[in-house]
Every structure is written in C-alpha cells, then in structure tokens.
C-alpha cells in the first residue's frame, strides 16, 4: 500500500491536485495532522514523500486549490445508476471512483461551492476532501478508478449535467448557470436536449494550447524528473520495452537533462527500475539499462510535444467541418475536426490514428474514442483502411471521406 499510495499521490500532484494523508482504514487525517492549511496551498513533493513513507491512505482536497475540483459523492448506487442512465456519455467519460456505497464523480466547476449536503450524498468543493485510490475504506473496500483521471479535469456545469439540483439553497453560490426547470436530486428533469461537458460544440473551451496539456508546474528539476519516473512506471508484466521508451521520452522533456550524459541519466533509470519492481516482476536492471541506451537517441518527440497535439491545435483553430455538425456532443465533433486535419496533412494518403492518442488530446477515455470512431465510419465520415491493435503495436489506418 505504501509505495502505491506514494506513487499515486505524486501522479495526482503532477496533475495539479492537492493531496493529504489519511490514516489507514479511516476517513480522517492522522492524529496531529492539520489539513486546513492545504485548502489554499498544495504540498511539496518532499512533504508527500514524508507523509506517504508510512502506511497512510490519501485524500484529494477539493476546490480552488486543486484546480477548481468538485466531486459529486453518490452514496447510493441506485441514484448514481439513474444519473448514469440520464447522462450515459458523461458516465463513460467523467473521472469516476468506485467507493464503499456508491461513486465519486469528478469535474472542474467555475467558482466551486462549499460542501452541499444532499439526500443521497454530497457535492464537495471548497472546504472538503475525498478519499482517492488506492485508499482503503474502514470496512476494507479499496477505492478504485472506474474512469481514470487522465490529464486535465473536464469542465462541467454542475446543474446542466445533473450533479447539483438547481433548487438547492447553495446553488446561488456555485457560480454555475441556473436552469429554469427543476432538477431532482442529481437527476435532470428536462430531457429535451443532450447533456454534455460544458464545452461549446462550436468553439474550444479555451486556447488550443490550454486544451492539450494539463497545467502542471514543477518547482525544481528534481520534481520534473520524479514526475517523469512516476508517469512511466509499468502496470503489467511484459510492458518493459514500451515503458522504458516512454521514460526516455519523459526525461527528454526535462530541460535540466538536455544534453545529459548516460552517466548522469543512469541513476534516474535505476530509480525507475527500483520503483517498477515494487509494482510488477521486472527483468534485471542491466536489461532495462540496455533498453534505455537504445531508446534514448531514438526519441524524436519528447513527452508533451507529440505531433498530434500540434495537429489538434490546428484543428481547433479552423472552423468545424460540416460533417461535425450532425453531432450534438463535443467529443464526436472535435474527433471529426481532428480526423479532417490529419487527412489534410497527409494529402491523398490515409492517416494513422490510435484511440489512446486521440483520447489524450480530446481529454476523454480511449474507449469512448474507439466508440466514436465506429460511429464516424457508420456515418460515412471515415473509412477504415487497415485495423491496428495493441498487440501489433500499430495504430489503425483511416481515410477521411467527408468534406475537406
């Protein structure tokens, strides 16, 4: 638990969230720990290492300190299921945690409210925190991600997406738009329009660069290196070659390592190997080091500078394709725009697109991208030229056949 909690806390920290320790098997910080100062400032990496050197669970502090994080705590599965039935796309894409009695649904709201108590749980914003994976509930239940938190928190209108009733007394302080129709305890009454994230389907949520990369800053070079190590640790056996190359790309993006010699890089790779062994069965360090030496000069694009990010930025800057306007939700609209831009840049040749790469720039789950790619094929927007697969280490190949 110890290593897993520290690794996860560092990942959350990298994503701009504020983590605090929680006593193992409890819902409260350890005795003597004062967490209120961390409602307004995030801890340092050194503090995280100290807190999670023991056997603590962890919590994420909600509100402004974590990038305007709000979490809807559904204490009842039946209420969550009704909400998920009303908002199937959001239920598939919003970061969601399985808890002891229900679900935690994550999002980012303008002017997060304080804690709002509801009949079936709470909405937690400023002044609250939630236990996060891999914490352990007092009854032994392990908190786990159903929809992983990948990249920047998605912006949501709490009332529009059914996570906060518009007749709640605190609704006036949420900073979100009130709907004219009442919303009953987390379930939307108005079925006349499709729910979505609060991204306008016709315009990006913010500037292209902000759409693509989470807002993360590292106070020191050591923090940046630590983030690179944590972000590339393997999760399963047989993943070594791929993750070592991802480590190469992540360390290439650290400015202090520009032009670094192998002798300077070797201790960082060894740290990665030591941490990886705590997760999965690993080959000896010599094999990993050989992979790294081979992969380091092959890195063309350091992490965060992938061509698809630049291509998506150009897609966002251009008017939406006519083919995108047949969809009401932002996800398929921006996927159409991305595919058109990929086709424009390939000319008459087909283009490769991996669902995970598209998910990264669209800020949605890769399974949702795969689903929408099938829809685009059925609707005559895309033609599948050749099917790839994770086992083949190859992306699928498409041709955009709608308007260019």
**pLDDT above 60 for 238:** yes
Is 288 a domain residue? yes
- The answer to whether position 212 is within a domain reads no
Together in a domain, 8 and 107:
yes
What is the spatial distance between Cα 336 and Cα 322, in angstroms, rounded to a whole number?
A: 9
- 45's enclosing H/E stretch is helix 45-51
Residues 190 and 318 in one domain: no
Residues 157 and 236 in one domain: no
The tokens of 278 are what?
Answer: 């705590």
- Residue that is last in its domain, among 251, 266, 298: 298
Asked if 297 contacts 249 with a C-beta cutoff of 8 angstroms, the reply is no
> What CATH number should be reported for the domain holding residue 366?
1.10.10.10
Cβ–Cβ < 8 Å for 171, 160: no
Please tell me which residue, 239 or 125, carries the higher pLDDT value: 125
Taking Cα atoms as reference points, which of 7, 91, 80, 99 lies closest to residue 48?
Answer: 7
For 64, the token pair is: 């402004």
- Does residue 7 have a pLDDT over 80? yes
Which three-class secondary structure state does DSSP give residue 206?
coil
Contact 158, 112 (CB under 8 A): no
Say yes or no: 65 and 191 in one domain: yes
Choose one of 252, 279, 298: the last residue of a domain.
Answer: 298
Please work out, in degrees rounded to the nearest 5, the angle formed at the alpha carbon of residue 192 by the alpha carbons of 191 and 196: 75
Return the higher-pLDDT residue of 185 and 146: 146
Would 258 be classed as within a structural domain? Answer: yes
pLDDT tens for 74-107 read 988 888 888 888 888 888 888 999 888 889 999 9
Nearest to 16 by CA among 51, 41, 49: 41
**Residues above pLDDT 70, as percent of the chain:** 82
Cut 0.75: pTM above it = no
pLDDT digits 0-9 by tens, 284-319: 999 999 999 999 999 887 876 668 888 888 888 888
32 and 177, same domain (yes or no): yes
- Residue at 271 is within a domain: yes
**Residue 204 counted as domain residue:** no
More confident residue, 53 or 394: 53
Question: What is the per-residue pLDDT across 12-45, written as a single tens digit (0 to 9) for each?
Answer: 888 889 999 998 888 899 989 999 999 999 999 9
| 233 and 349 both lie in a single domain | no
Kindly state whether residues 65 and 184 are assigned to the same domain.
yes
* Residue 185: other Cβ atoms inside 10 A: 17
46: Cβ contacts below 8 Å, ≥ 6 apart: none
Better pLDDT: 167 or 265: 265
Burial class (CB in 10 A: 0-12, 13-18, 19+), 348: exposed
To 10 degrees, what angle do helices 330-346 and 307-317 make? 110
Burial of 202 (0-12, 13-18, 19+ CB in 10 A): exposed
Asked whether residue 217 carries a pLDDT value surpassing 60, the answer given is no
Clarify whether residues 379 and 293 are in a common domain. Answer: no
| 69 and 11 inside one domain | yes
Q: Which of 298, 327, 344 lies at the terminal end of a domain, its last residue?
A: 298
Q: How confident is the model at residue 229 (pLDDT cuts 50, 70, 90)?
A: confident
Q: How far apart are CA 328 and CA 330, in angstroms?
A: 7
Element (H, E) at 266: helix 262-277
In this prediction, residue 237 carries a pLDDT of 65
Q: How long, in residues, is the chain?
A: 404
Structural domain harbouring 311: 307-400
Is residue 242 located within the same domain as residue 97? no
Count CA atoms within 13 Å of residue 42 on its CB side: 24
pLDDT score for 386: 92
11 lies in a domain? yes
Ordered alpha helix ranges (H), 191-252? 208-212, 221-231, 240-252
Q: Which two tokens stand for residue 19?
A: 């983590």
Q: Domain for residue 203, yes or no?
A: no
Q: How far apart are CA 319 and CA 321, in angstroms?
A: 6
Q: What CA–CA distance (Å, rounded) separates 65 from 214?
A: 15
Decide if 30 contacts 56 (C-beta within 8 A): yes
As a whole number of Å, the CA-based R_g of the chain is 22
Q: Are residues 159 and 243 in the same domain?
A: no
Total number of domains constituting the chain: 3
Structure confidence at residue 304 (pLDDT):
67
Same domain, 169 and 62: yes
């Amino acid at each position: 638990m110890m290593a897993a909690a520290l690794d996860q806390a560092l990942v959350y920290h990298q994503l701009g969230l504020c983590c605090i320790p929680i006593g193992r098997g409890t819902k409260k910080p350890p005795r003597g720990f004062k967490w209120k100062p961390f409602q307004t400032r995030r801890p340092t990496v050194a503090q995280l290492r100290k807190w999670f050197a023991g056997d603590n669970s962890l919590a994420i502090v909600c509100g402004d300190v974590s990038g305007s994080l709000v979490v809807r705590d559904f204490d009842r599965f039946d209420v969550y299921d009704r909400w998920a039935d009303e908002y199937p796309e959001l239920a598939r894409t919003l970061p969601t945690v399985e808890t002891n009695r229900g679900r935690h649904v994550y999002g980012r709201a303008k002017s997060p409210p304080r804690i709002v108590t509801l009949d079936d749980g709470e909405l937690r914003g400023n002044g609250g925190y939630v236990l996060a994976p891999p914490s352990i509930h007092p009854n032994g239940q392990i908190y786990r991600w159903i929809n992983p938190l990948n990249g920047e928190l998605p912006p949501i209108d709490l009332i529009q997406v059914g996570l906060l009733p518009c007749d709640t007394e605190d609704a006036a302080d949420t900073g979100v738009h009130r709907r004219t129709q009442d919303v009953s305890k987390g379930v939307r009454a108005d079925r006349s329009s499709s729910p979505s994230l609060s991204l306008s389907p016709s315009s990006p949520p913010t500037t292209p660069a902000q759409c693509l990369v989470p807002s993360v800053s590292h106070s020191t070079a050591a923090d940046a290196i630590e983030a690179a190590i944590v972000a590339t640790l393997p999760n399963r056996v047989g993943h070594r070659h791929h993750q070592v190359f991802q480590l190469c790309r992540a360390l290439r993006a650290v400015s202090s390592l520009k032009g670094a010699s192998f002798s300077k890089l070797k201790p960082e790779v060894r740290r990665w190997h030591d941490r990886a062994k705590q997760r999965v069965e690993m080959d000896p360090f010599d094999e990993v080091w050989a992979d790294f030496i081979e992969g380091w000069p092959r890195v063309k694009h350091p992490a965060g500078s992938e061509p698809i990010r630049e291509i998506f930025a150009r897609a966002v800057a251009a008017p939406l394709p006519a083919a995108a306007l047949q969809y009401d939700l932002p996800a398929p609209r921006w996927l159409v725009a991305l595919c058109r831009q990929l086709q424009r840049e390939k000319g008459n040749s087909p283009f490769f697109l991996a669902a995970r790469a598209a998910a990264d720039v669209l800020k949605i789950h890769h399974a949702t991208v795969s689903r929408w790619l099938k829809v685009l094929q059925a609707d005559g927007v895309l033609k599948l030229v050749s099917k790839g697969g994770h086992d083949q280490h190859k992306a699928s190949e498409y041709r955009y056949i709608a308007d260019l």
